[in-house]
């Protein structure tokens, strides 16, 4: 993986984490008040995802950056040439 690919993946993942709650609440505005027990399963799953991303998005963003950069550094072509 190249550093450019890692940067694009970072933007996509972080963008998804910040856009998911906005999209879900735009499509299902009644979910802001919570989910009742009679709600369909997909609504409970969506609220769970939105809650998870809302609580841990900054922490996960800090973990994703080093993981992608490490992956890019270990799999870059220049390191592969050095190993041969």
The label of the residue with tokens 């027990």 reads 37
Q: Which helix (H) or strand (E) holds 31?
A: none
What pLDDT score was predicted for residue 82? 56
The CA-based dihedral angle spanning residues 68, 69, 73, 78, taken in that order and rounded to the nearest 10 degrees: 100
List of the chain residues with pLDDT < 70: 31-32, 34-37, 77-84
The model's pTM is: 0.56
In Å, what is the CA distance from 11 to each residue of 22, 53, 68, 78?
Answer: 17, 15, 11, 24
Q: Where are the domains of the chain?
A: 3-83
């Amino acid at each position: 993986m190249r550093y450019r690919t890692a940067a694009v993946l970072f933007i996509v993942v972080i963008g998804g984490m910040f856009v998911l709650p906005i999209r879900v609440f735009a499509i299902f505005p009644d979910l802001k008040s919570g989910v009742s027990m009679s709600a369909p399963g997909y609504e409970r799953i969506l609220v769970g995802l939105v809650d998870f991303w809302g609580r841990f998005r900054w922490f996960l963003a800090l973990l994703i950056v080093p993981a992608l950069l490490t992956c890019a550094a270990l799999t870059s072509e220049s390191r592969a040439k050095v190993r041969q």
